[in-house]
Each structure stands twice: as C-alpha cells, then as structure tokens.
Amino acid sequence: MDQAVALASEVGIEGLTIGALAARLGLSKSGLFAHFGSRESLQLATLKRAQDLFHARVFRPALAAQRGLPRLRALFQNWFEWLDRSPRPGGCVILAATYEFDHRPGPIRDLLLKSQKELRGGIAKAVRMAIDAGHLAAETDPWQLTFELFGIVLAAHHERHMLDDLRAGERGAKAFERLISTCRRQPALTADPKAGDPGFQHDRSLNGKPGFPPLPDRYPAELTASASLGLNHSITIRPIRPEDADLTSEFAANLSVETRYNRFLGGGFALTPEWLRRLTCIDFSRDMALIATVTFGEEETQIGVARYAMLEDGASCEFAVTVADQWHGCGIGEMLMRHLIAPARKAGLKTMIGDVLATNVAMLGLARKLGFAVSAHPEGAELKRVTLDLAAGKEQPSRRETATA
C-alpha cells in the first residue's frame, strides 16, 4: 500500500491503475486484481492508507503536546514538516486528490469529502481548546481560523511542489505564527497585522461615543501614581481604562514614523475600533497596561504607555513601552517601566522579556539601565531579546522620581 501511495503521488489517484502498481511491485496484474477487485477499490484503499500515514505523522504526535495553543502549534509544525520532508515527488496524495475529484461525484469524492470534513473538525477542535485554555481570544471564530490556517497549508503545499520552494514549510510556520498572533487573548503587544500601512488617521468617529465597556472588576486602581519628574507638569500613571480609547487613538496617531517603526519592530499598524478595544479593555488578572498622562487645563493627554502580556507558560510576560516623541528623554519611559515591573513581580511572574530592534539604542539603553540582560534573538541579528529576572531583585523608583518625591 505504501508503494501505491508513492505511485499515486507521482501519477495522481486518477492515474493509479492495478497494472501500473503491479509493474512497480514486480507482481502479477491478475494477482493484484484478485486482491483489490477493481481499480476504484485500489484507489480508495490507497487514499485510506495515505490518510493513515497523515494521522500517524501529523495528528497523533501533536496529541502529546499540552492542550491549547502548544497542541495547535505542534499540529501545524508536524504538517509543515510532512509537506517539506515528504519523499513523494507529487506531494500530499490527499490534497492532490481533492483537486482531481472536487467536482466528480462517486465513492472517491465521498471518501475525500468525509475525511476533509473530519480534518476541519479536528483543527476547529484544537482551536476551541486553545480558546478554552485562554491562549486565544474568546471571540476567536474556530471555523474562520480553521479556514485561514488551512489556507496556509494549501499555499505551502503549492509553493513546495509547484515552485519547488524548499523554504515553503518555514514560510508556512511563520504565517501560522503571524495569524495566531492576531487571535491571541492579549495581542496588544504586537502590531495589528491586518494593517499594512504604518500611518493611520485618528478615528474621530470614536470620540465621545457612549457604550465603552465598564471598568473590569479587578481594575487595579492602587497602581495609580503621580510624579512631577522635575518638569512643569504633573504626570499621572494609571492602569488603562476602556474609555481611554480616544486618548490612545490620539497618542498613536501622533507618533513619528521612527517611533512606530521601533515599537512595532518594523511592522505597520492601524487602530481599528476592534484593535483599540483590545488595547484598552485589559484582563488585569493576567496582563497590565499603564498609561502616562498630563493634564493641560481640562484636557488630559496621553504621553506614554507600557504594557505586559502574560505568556502561555503563566510564569513569564512580554512587555512593550512607547513614549510620545516630544517627551523622549524626560524619564517617562523609565518611570513607566519601573511601574510596570512592580505589579509583574507582585503577580508572581518570574521573567519579563521584550523583543527590540538591534538598532533601537534608546530601548536597549533603557533595558540595560533597568537590569535586563540583552542577548541574541532566535529570529536573527535584526532583533535583540531583553530579559529581566523578576525574581532576582526589587525595583527601585527611578532616580528622577525619587528626587522629586
């Protein structure tokens, strides 16, 4: 049967005949015919064998991974490896057969349809588990994500076998991560991947709109602080609130191209209302977002933000910090980070990490000053990974804050 699968990969299920398989195996055609009874039975048996192989190499090993996102990721990693490393010249027999038989009624199409539906169901189930485990946002639509993930597999298969791209599996894995990052429960630390344009307009339709969600039960009001930093303005640091959508939108709209580039690691972003909601409606039991504001007359203006999101392991978190351009160098970034590190430590998190462009001298300087270790990044020399051992020490207020206290 393995030889039948290999032959089908070369000639397609339609080209698979008892005669061709007999010739390949050096067996008598009549003997094979007696075994299968018909060409169609051979084709069906071959597809079933291909499905068994797929399950044994892709689905079953993924079950060993932790439920939730790790399992979903393992499933797709196995799948990309299966596509990449397949010794079969024509690639996946099943995928090829779905093209051959997509409009041809009969037992082969019925078998393919059933197995494809089961496969989609299996992926959707893995997605649902990732939602239940809190790894993906509750509003993630399992069927939509299944559709998009399957699209990545199709693209990788096509690139590998039609264009002979040996990095198709690697590209597929990257696309997987990018897509998943849009569905993470707290994706506020990454750029909005739906947006390609780094510039955007402040969405004034959000101004003064009623109906923002209420403050979360666990809103940590005790983290609110004020400082003067020796400046003429009093600066307030406080956990972000749903009704800060306008402040946040205005703040982001005024960032320079360079600041946006540094913050989003070269990626683009656009503040859609949905994205804005994610930035401002925080589940403080796992994540944190602190904004720094100044008030001129009646008007409060946001001048910085620092946030962390707990990672899957529940013991570490990823941070990001941004200060409005005209406030750079005034101590705001340092103050925000110190105020962010304290609750992370209190929440029992062990490590805080961040990805920083290797050219981002200011952030690397700030990270070093705060005691972060700076190391090479697994994704390449363009990035640095900064890591703070939260268990190691207690955060002191910044010198500037102490001086003005």
User: Measured between alpha carbons, how far is 47 from 261 in angstroms, rounded to an integer?
Assistant: 49
Closest to ligand COA by CB, 119 vs 356, is 356
For the CB of residue 255, give the shortest distance to ligand COA in the complex, in Å: 8
Phi-psi region of 286 (alpha: psi -120 to 50; beta: other; left: phi over 0): alpha
Closest to ligand COA by CB, 41 vs 351, is 351
Closest to ligand COA by CB, 118 vs 382, is 382
Task: Please choose, out of 180-188, 241-249, 331-339, 375-383, the segment that lies near ligand COA by the rule CB under 6 A.
Answer: 331-339
Task: Please choose, out of 17-25, 149-157, 321-329, 375-383, the segment that lies near ligand COA by the rule CB under 6 A.
Answer: 321-329
Residues in a beta bridge with 386: 354, 374
Supply the angle between the helices 39-54 and 107-132 in degrees, to the nearest 10: 10
User: Measured between alpha carbons, how far is 371 from 112 in angstroms, rounded to an integer?
Assistant: 57
Task: Please choose, out of 20-28, 75-83, 145-153, 329-337, the segment that lies near ligand COA by the rule CB under 6 A.
Answer: 329-337
User: Measured between alpha carbons, how far is 141 from 148 in angstroms, rounded to an integer?
Assistant: 11
Q: Confirm or reject binding of residue 187 to ligand COA (CB under 6 A).
A: no
Draw the binding track, 351-380, toward ligand COA (x: CB under 6 A; -: no contact): ---x-x---xxxx-xx--x-----------
Find the farthest-apart pair of alpha carbons in the chain and give their distance in angstroms, rounded.
Answer: 96
For the CB of residue 293, give the shortest distance to ligand COA in the complex, in Å: 14
Phi-psi region of 386 (alpha: psi -120 to 50; beta: other; left: phi over 0): beta
For the CB of residue 66, give the shortest distance to ligand COA in the complex, in Å: 28
Tokens of 223: 């983290």
* Footprint on residues 250-279 left by ligand COA (CB under 6 A): 259, 262-263
Closest to ligand COA by CB, 160 vs 260, is 260
Q: Single out the residue of 326, 261, 257, 253 nearest to residue 294, CA to CA.
A: 326
For the CB of residue 254, give the shortest distance to ligand COA in the complex, in Å: 12
Which residue number places its CB atom closest to ligand COA?
A: 333
Q: Which of 92, 331, 339, 341 binds ligand COA (CB under 6 A)?
A: 331
Closest to ligand COA by CB, 79 vs 319, is 319
Q: Confirm or reject binding of residue 329 to ligand COA (CB under 6 A).
A: yes
Q: Provide CB contacts within 8 A for 132, sequence distance 6+.
A: 68
For residue 289, the surrounding DSSP H or E stretch is strand 288-296
Taking CA atoms, 154 is separated from 47, 79, 82, 247, 312, in Å, by 18, 11, 13, 42, 28
Task: Please choose, out of 14-22, 59-67, 141-149, 332-340, the segment that lies near ligand COA by the rule CB under 6 A.
Answer: 332-340
For the CB of residue 369, give the shortest distance to ligand COA in the complex, in Å: 4
Binding-residue total with ligand COA (CB under 6 A): 23
Draw the binding track, 13-52, toward ligand COA (x: CB under 6 A; -: no contact): ----------------------------------------
Closest to ligand COA by CB, 176 vs 327, is 327
User: Measured between alpha carbons, how far is 377 from 386 in angstroms, rounded to an integer?
Assistant: 9
Q: Which of 322, 349, 384, 401 binds ligand COA (CB under 6 A)?
A: 322
Q: Which of 21, 131, 136, 320 binds ligand COA (CB under 6 A)?
A: 320
Phi-psi region of 91 (alpha: psi -120 to 50; beta: other; left: phi over 0): left
For the CB of residue 175, give the shortest distance to ligand COA in the complex, in Å: 23
| β-pairing verdict for 288-296 and 299-310 | antiparallel
Q: How far apart are the first and last CA of the chain?
A: 78
Q: Which of 42, 288, 330, 344 binds ligand COA (CB under 6 A)?
A: 330
Torsion of CA 66, 67, 70, 72, to 10 degrees: 140
Closest to ligand COA by CB, 257 vs 381, is 257
User: Measured between alpha carbons, how far is 318 from 307 in angstroms, rounded to an integer?
Assistant: 8
**Considering Cα of 157, then 162, then 168, then 171, what sign does the dihedral take?**
negative
- Give the binding site for ligand COA (CB under 6 A): 259, 262-263, 320-323, 328-334, 354, 356, 360-363, 365-366, 369
